[in-house]
Amino acid sequence: MEKKPHFVRREFLPREVPSISLALLLAAVLLLNALLYLYLNKFHNSLGHVETDPGLCPFGHFRLGAVKNCSPWLSCEAINKEVRKLKCVGEGAVKKVFLSEWKEKKVVLSQLSNSELKEDFLHGLKMLKALQSKHVVRLLGYCEQQFTILTEYHPLGSLRGLNETLHIPKYKGMNTWHRRLMLAIDYVSVIRYLHSSPLGTLVMCDSNDLDKVLSQYLLTSDFHVLVNDLDALPLVNRSAGRLVKCGHRELRGEFVAPEQRWPYGEDVPFEDELMPPYDEKTDIWKIPDVSDFFLGHVEGSDIVRLHLFDIHAACKKKDPVERPSAQEVLDTYRKVLTLLIREAAMPGAREML
């Protein structure tokens, strides 16, 4: 009789403890799933399934900084009167870029630098006006007569300086596989937006090498990617049989898509008239190389690359028809991010269950 209490404890306690532990574990998993769902829902909304930012002003207007009211794009008169150049911060084939000041706010003033490229400059302005969205740098004003464009200033500059920025003590906390993958998702989101833009299917032609691609995009202070340079953005119109060619010179190297290279061998001199046109799938070919730059060499980036291997292999198909669309690439990137965040949030949960 004295051993009976001891017998009861040996018989029932081991069964009760695992059931309580299992219930707690299941509750924790459910809670983590709920938190993950809320996080990813917020994340996808921030990426913008809807391309236009609800915070954007009506067409022809802008809002700068913390100002609540929208202002009309600045005219020639306003730019000449109210904008003060501070210093030249860059010069390309088409335009010079000046850090400037407007009403005590830093802005960017771009001016035509080569009169032979007026058409390119005006095309870039036309694209900038028509494509205003969360993916495109904010237009503040322009003066066609003086070939001048005024845009929002982003102090972190172009994506060429990404790795240097991530080594600044202030931003070292951003140097993770998670943040880098989100930047790659932003980049693919821009490509998807251009391929399904309000104007039709647009091809990012200023992209003949990695450095050139990175120079076309800006890194915002809250670590998002904006396209900045839209001078070379031709339109594909399949129904009208219209394809594109990125310039009139021969393109070489593995970075550009196979269909962008001269197809008739070294023995036949390049002639622009004989060069076959192509479509937006040239942008898809370049995505793996640009994403590889984004992912860098931080802890976890090789795991991300492993998960993206199949979609990147598909992007590198020689036949452009076999490559995925930008939407398909974007969907895959988002799925990989969701999967990896879930695994990071619940390490070992599957084995415990």
The reported pLDDT for the residue numbered 33 is: 57
Give the CA distances from residue 120 to residues 133, 204, 205, 248, in Å, rounded to whole numbers and listed in that order: 21, 13, 12, 14
Q: Which contacts (CB < 8 Å, 24+ apart) does range 344-353 have? A: 344/178, 345/32, 345/35, 345/36, 346/29, 346/32, 349/25, 349/29, 349/32, 352/25, 353/25, 353/26, 353/29
Q: Token match 């090789």: residue? A: 302
Give the CA distances from residue 53 to residues 131, 132, 151, 157, in Å, rounded to whole numbers and listed in that order: 12, 9, 17, 22
Give the CA distances from residue 44 to residues 134, 201, 298, in Å, rounded to whole numbers and listed in that order: 14, 23, 24
Torsion of CA 173, 179, 184, 186, to 10 degrees: -110
Write down the CATH superfamily of domain 71-153: Phosphorylase Kinase; domain 1 (3.30.200.20)
Q: Token match 């904008």: residue? A: 83
Output the CATH code of domain 154-346.
1.10.510.10
Record the tokens describing residue 209, joined without a space.
């090498």
- Segments of the chain scoring below 50 in pLDDT: 3-4, 6-15, 17, 44-50, 349-353
The reported pLDDT for the residue numbered 7 is: 45
**Cβ(132)–Cβ(149) under 8 Å?**
no
Please state the domain extents for the chain.
Answer: 71-153, 154-346
The reported pLDDT for the residue numbered 347 is: 63
Question: At 252, is the secondary structure helix, strand, or coil?
Answer: coil
The reported pLDDT for the residue numbered 124 is: 94
Q: Token match 């390490």: residue? A: 347
Angstrom distance (rounded) from CA 24 to CA 257? 53
